[in-house]
A and B are shown apart, each in its own frame.
Chain A
Amino acid sequence: MSRIMKVARMQLINKWTFIGIPLIVLAGSFLFTLAVWYLVRRGGGEGTLYGGGAQAPMWYFLALGIQALTLTFPFAMAMSVSRRSFYLGTLALFGGCAMVLAVFYYLMGLLEEATGGWGVDGRFFALQWIAENNWLTQILFYFMLTVLLFMVGFYAATLYMRWRTTGVLVFTIGLGLALLGTVALITLTESWPEVGRWLAGWTAAGVTALGAGLAVLLAGSSYLTLRKATI
């Protein structure tokens, strides 16, 4: 068995981390949402009900991205694993988990539509903007979102491992300045309405492609940073 596969196996030794906790987070946020919807209907609320709880497990993936590095990386080094094997094994495992989650969302979305929004006309998995696309776009969208959040956490953690607090500070301040600059530019040129129209014009496929590009960029940067990281 290659060392890359061994890294994936090591990450899975504690099954709770990758499988148990995300499922609990998802089940928890879903059941809470259902309960709230039920109460809303009892209280006489009308129209379609939307819930954003489906993204909860994805944010957990962001935290996992950080944890996979700060704690598992030093341990992997002690297990005499090269940085490359650690990186590839960890990413392969996360990719696999993200794909399972994406397919699960798609299937739950179908179920949601088939049951008339769980009997209360609620939208938890099949948010209209995404659900109106074909199955492949839907799955890829969920997949991209999960991987992207994981990569954000992972990249921030590689910065920390390589340059410690200084690295993270420089990066976040730089990012903050860039965002502020963009907002300032849009405000000063009075182009918010155009930006709004531009944003509204994005399709799910377009967002998926953009997010995927960003995730690939973060993945590449993470590897280059990690190659020279010490513990």
Chain B
Amino acid sequence: MSETPAITTRDLAKTYKDVRALDGVSLNLAPNRIYGLLGRNGAGKTTLMSILTGQNFADRGTAEIFGHTPFEHDPTLARLCFIRESQKYPDDFKVRQAFSAAAIFFENWNEQLAQDLVKAFNLPLNRRIKKLSRGQLSAVGVIIGMASRAEITFFDEPYLGLDAVARQIFYDRLVEDFAQHPRTIVLSSHLIDEVANLLEHVIVIDQGRIIIDSEAEDLQGAAVTVTGSAQKVEEFIAGYPVIHRDALGSLASISIRARLTAEQRARAQILGLELSPVSLQQLVVRSTLSSQSDREQTTERQAIK
């Protein structure tokens, strides 16, 4: 495919005083797919998105949207929508007025979709935004993001304060609308299992570095937990990268990055070992933890030297 990527970054870096928010981030996001941008709080997700939308500046590296630098470039910015998790609204705005404003700026704005979502989320249109609850505030952001139908839409932890029902409405509506109007969606989240089924591609960021950048399909079954007698488990997993170890007496439960063949599965059964898949959330958590301990060990080693 010679299609222009929706988003390209090269070696993006950004430091806030003594915190490295982004550190050598290089990514390529194809158009019309749903991406998950996963990571802990403070991992660099919001910084990355605000640089991609021209709202913040990188210290180093480049970021391009459809081949253009977004900073101060109205034609490119017009193709984007990014509502922050802590989005501010004009002080005296009512919910209805925020949507009127969005309708002015987003060319593909769909009023019908916005109205449907307002009903689904039970949002009071005539209430002032500063009087909304946290969940209602999130709903305003979600509705602007969805109804804008921008070519690239960023959702920054869009579910804060939303109850489980409202979150499900958001996920369902997103998938439904995406099917009819494909566009590039970047969903930043730390509720990984909840969004796992939506995502086509997963990017995990930790302390400003990209630690996973894979198709969601490839990640499914990319890791397995082997449980059984410690000795046999060790024997079975020899040679595979370990992402997590748990031990209880003579029992061990070890997660490895591996795609097991049918033969290996049969062998595990003979050895009396239990195999269980590692969920995306577990995989991300374990990968994040092990990348952090790697870094700590490196720092310690450097300190010893």
A interface residues, Cβ below 8 angstroms from B: 3, 6, 9-10, 13-14, 16-17, 67, 71-72, 74-75, 77-85, 227-228, 230-231
Please report the C-alpha to C-alpha distance between residue A10 and residue B101 in the assembled complex, in whole angstroms: 6
Nearest-neighbour CB distance to chain B for A213, whole angstroms, equals 27
Supply 24 A–B pairs (Cβ within 8 Å), ascending by A. Answer: A6-B104, A10-B101, A13-B101, A14-B92, A14-B93, A14-B97, A16-B92, A71-B88, A71-B89, A71-B91, A75-B87, A75-B88, A75-B90, A75-B93, A78-B83, A79-B104, A79-B105, A80-B105, A81-B77, A82-B73, A82-B74, A227-B72, A230-B57, A231-B88
Nearest-neighbour CB distance to chain B for A1, whole angstroms, equals 8
Please report the C-alpha to C-alpha distance between residue A158 and residue B79 in the assembled complex, in whole angstroms: 26
Nearest-neighbour CB distance to chain A for B126, whole angstroms, equals 13
B interface residues, Cβ below 8 angstroms from A: 50, 53-57, 72-74, 77-84, 87-93, 97-98, 100-102, 104-106, 144, 150
* Residue in contact with A71 in the complex, picked from B84, B90, B97, B150, CB distance below 8 Å: B90
Nearest-neighbour CB distance to chain B for A163, whole angstroms, equals 13
Please name all residues of chain B whose beta carbon is closer than 8 Å to the beta carbon of A74 when the two chains form the complex: 84, 87-88
Please name all residues of chain B whose beta carbon is closer than 8 Å to the beta carbon of A85 when the two chains form the complex: 74
Closest partner residue, chain A, to B100 (CB atom): A13
Interface centre among A74, A80, A81, A82 (most CB of B within 10 A): A80
Query: Are B105's CB and A230's CB within 8 A?
Result: no
Please report the C-alpha to C-alpha distance between residue A231 and residue B51 in the assembled complex, in whole angstroms: 12
Nearest-neighbour CB distance to chain A for B19, whole angstroms, equals 15
Closest partner residue, chain A, to B145 (CB atom): A78
Please report the C-alpha to C-alpha distance between residue A71 and residue B92 in the assembled complex, in whole angstroms: 10
Please report the C-alpha to C-alpha distance between residue A80 and residue B53 in the assembled complex, in whole angstroms: 8
Nearest-neighbour CB distance to chain A for B143, whole angstroms, equals 13
Q: Which 3 residue pairs are nearest across A and B when measured between Cβ atoms? A: A74-B88, A79-B105, A80-B77
Closest partner residue, chain B, to A77 (CB atom): B55
Given A14-B92, A79-B105, A231-B88, 12 more contacts at CB 8 Å? A10-B104, A71-B88, A75-B89, A78-B82, A78-B83, A78-B87, A79-B101, A79-B102, A79-B104, A80-B106, A84-B74, A231-B55
Nearest-neighbour CB distance to chain B for A24, whole angstroms, equals 14
Please name all residues of chain A whose beta carbon is closer than 8 Å to the beta carbon of B102 when the two chains form the complex: 79
Please name all residues of chain B whose beta carbon is closer than 8 Å to the beta carbon of A9 when the two chains form the complex: 104
Please name all residues of chain A whose beta carbon is closer than 8 Å to the beta carbon of B91 when the two chains form the complex: 67, 71
Please report the C-alpha to C-alpha distance between residue A17 and residue B91 in the assembled complex, in whole angstroms: 10
Please name all residues of chain A whose beta carbon is closer than 8 Å to the beta carbon of B73 when the two chains form the complex: 82
Please report the C-alpha to C-alpha distance between residue A9 and residue B83 in the assembled complex, in whole angstroms: 20
Query: Are A80's CB and B50's CB within 8 A?
Result: no
Please name all residues of chain B whose beta carbon is closer than 8 Å to the beta carbon of A228 when the two chains form the complex: 57
Please report the C-alpha to C-alpha distance between residue A186 and residue B150 in the assembled complex, in whole angstroms: 60
Query: Are B101's CB and A75's CB within 8 A?
Result: yes
Please report the C-alpha to C-alpha distance between residue A14 and residue B95 in the assembled complex, in whole angstroms: 12
Please name all residues of chain B whose beta carbon is closer than 8 Å to the beta carbon of A79 when the two chains form the complex: 101-102, 104-106
Please name all residues of chain A whose beta carbon is closer than 8 Å to the beta carbon of B72 when the two chains form the complex: 82-84, 227
Nearest-neighbour CB distance to chain B for A4, whole angstroms, equals 9
Interface centre among B78, B80, B105, B144 (most CB of A within 10 A): B105
Query: Are A17's CB and B92's CB within 8 A?
Result: yes
Please report the C-alpha to C-alpha distance between residue A67 and residue B93 in the assembled complex, in whole angstroms: 12
